[in-house]
Chain A
Amino acid sequence: MTPGLAASWANAELRKQPGRQHSERSHRGRVILIDDDLEILAALSYLIELEGYVCETFSSALDYLGQLALPRTRPPGPCCVLVDVMMPDLDGLEAQRRLAALDDTPLLLMSGASGVHEAVTAFRAGALDFLIKPLEAETLLLAVEKALAVSRERQSIQARSLALTHRLVALTNREHDVAIRVARGDLNRVIAKDLRLALRTVKLYRQRAMEKLEARSTADLIRVLQEAAL
């Protein structure tokens, strides 16, 4: 490693050190950068960190996958992966396949040899963007911003569906059956007949289900259940 490079690593560490600042940055976004060329890692991480993101660098996709396998809570905030296609031990496309199996972190690929085949494969496997080296700062930062936005949205959807799951779990079996049928559009009378319940009981269960699912109207209930079904 050249002295310059070593210094830049040290700097990158410095920039990361103050805990509060780091968590602020992390909230803004975390970029996982994977490239086997140390010079590129250093230069791109500089550019990304200047924009106020956290940049974690790995010189091999295997290193990153190994780190993901560790049982560790991940810092909050949006996250995206920027990986080089042409790498010796595990190329970018294979890394993309393995990462997709683990989680839904948005992925950006970059390559110098802009093979159409590689690009198509990458997009089919769900890559958000395919960047051509050398990267223009504008293009790179725009792509990163977009990827982080996608990540943020995915995370919020995930959080909502998690909350919904918690609420659904709180329903009793009867309340759940009634709620499903309400959402399907059945009338209270029909539900009572189907489930062999008194009309009053159905109304009671319906009321409790709506309270537990935090639905203010029937329409709200339908929406909540649809989301939960996702």
Chain B
Amino acid sequence: MIGQAGATALLLLGLICVIMPAVTWVILARQHSPVVALWCVGYLLCASGLVLIGFRGAVPSWASFPVANILGFTGLLLSIQALRLDAGTPWRPGWMLVACLVYLLTYKALWLGIEKPALRVCFVSLTCLILLTQVAMLAWRIAQREQSTAAKAIAGSYLFMAMTMVVRLAGLAWLGGAASPHPLLRIVMTIAAGVLPAIVANVGFIGLALERSLRQQVEAAASQARLEERQLLGNEIAHLDRQRGFGLVAASLAHELNQPLTAILASAQAAQRGIAADRLAPAESLELLDKVVSNTRRISSISERIRSFIRPTVADAGPVDLEKITGEMLDLLKVDLRRLGIRVVFSKPALPILVSGDAVQLSQVVLNVLRNAVDAVQLVPDRSIHIQVTRSAGEAVLGIRDMGPGLDPGLAEQIGTPYFTTKEKGLGMGLSISTAILRQHKGSLVLRNAQGGGACVDIRLPILAAGGALA
């Protein structure tokens, strides 16, 4: 009767062991992880083994212990494989198959050849002990690596099961296999050794998986935040660079603003004096007023240009005409170019070439490159800059070539890295900011020495549309 109770206990235990991995699977199925699948299948096999042992007597004897044992063995192997896969060092499936075969053959040999059940039990228990310890060690390693309590629980539960095997082996050795321990003790031991670890191990496994997914979410959120912060900082730096670029041309702009102001003041005062002395015909007064108006417009267009260049912007995408922004930046540098006697040869495309991007940021890139060219040609007698907008292989290419001294091959590697500069007053940010902006636009900046002297910068960007389609 008590033997019956033992079988019932094993059956219950087996059922719980079946339910636990099923629950684990239901909870973690969404992760589509082979680790979870291996773990659940492994545990399910072990549980099936236990159920079969629970049904011994009801099923043919060949289907009871031998099948149960091989199921248990395979199940434990799969559990180990699950954890090894998780650690990134899985076993070869072929080896596992061989191990299963060897185990099966050894067990069969012990079953048929030797009439000593104690030896068989001893073999099974020992194998179990080794495998359980292996699982416990793997789980412990995960616990150490990830500081995970859940993994510690898994390790603990498997260690506990291993301990029950030790107890069992000790019992065998002590009693010499002659008699089984008291059936009631066996039931208590089975439940303690099976049910509790089954629950703890599976809950631990679920916990570990949840811990991980939570950590992943936190890390993803953190890296997203970092990315956004960097983007924001990038915009900020780009804005500062624009302001600085603007500062460098400010003297020129002051002159440029002064010219129309001079014309306005002179016209207005000519009108004042002329009218006061009654020496102006109405037509002449009107003409002077026209001058005031047209020169005021000239000023407002200059100030509009300044405003649109230094306004802090969040990158927004739209069609940008490379030729147009290059022309605008040349305007911004106009006074400097004239003062320094720099000749600009600008070969424009027959049709406008449009790219997609932020006009202000792309203008900034063009200005940076133009400014470098202006600095370079000051060092040589031939002060000329050649600019051309072309298309090649689906890309728009803005080539800016100066006739300056070119690049020092020794420094070529460093050019474009932040804070590297050959200029006395340079910050060394220009090209690296330009490169970053172009990368955001899926474009690139190629810096090389041109054939026949001087440096050449190619700004390459994907073409948005054939010329005129959007114009």
Contacts and interface: CB of A to CB of B under 8 A. Distances in A.
A interacts with B:
yes
B264 A47 contact: no
B274 A135 contact: no
A76 interface: no
B259 A40 contact: yes
Interface string B282-316: 00100110110011001000000000000000000
Assign chain B's interface to a size class: 20 to 34
B261 A133 contact: yes
B interface, by DSSP: helix, strand, loop or mixed?
A: helix
B270 interface: yes
A88 B341 CA distance: 6
Interface string B337-365: 01101000000000000000000000000
A183 interface: no
B204 to A, nearest CB: 78
Nearest to B288: A46
B212 interface: no
A134 B339 contact: no
Contacts of B270: 43, 46-47, 50, 137
A134 B294 contact: no
A156 B285 CA distance: 38
A113 B251 contact: yes
A86 interface: yes
A136 B335 CA distance: 24
Contacts of A113: 251, 254-255, 258
A40 B291 contact: no
Interface string B270-281: 101110010110
Contact of B269 (A40, A89, A91, A137): A137
Interface of B: 251, 254-255, 258-267, 269-270, 272-274, 277, 279-280, 284, 287-288, 290-291, 294-295, 298, 335, 338-339, 341
Given A39-B260, A112-B254, A113-B254, 13 more contacts: A2-B294, A4-B290, A11-B287, A39-B291, A40-B259, A42-B291, A43-B267, A44-B262, A86-B335, A112-B255, A134-B264, A136-B265, A137-B270
17 contacts: A7-B287, A37-B262, A39-B259, A39-B263, A39-B298, A40-B262, A43-B263, A43-B266, A43-B270, A43-B288, A86-B335, A86-B339, A88-B339, A91-B339, A113-B251, A135-B262, A136-B269
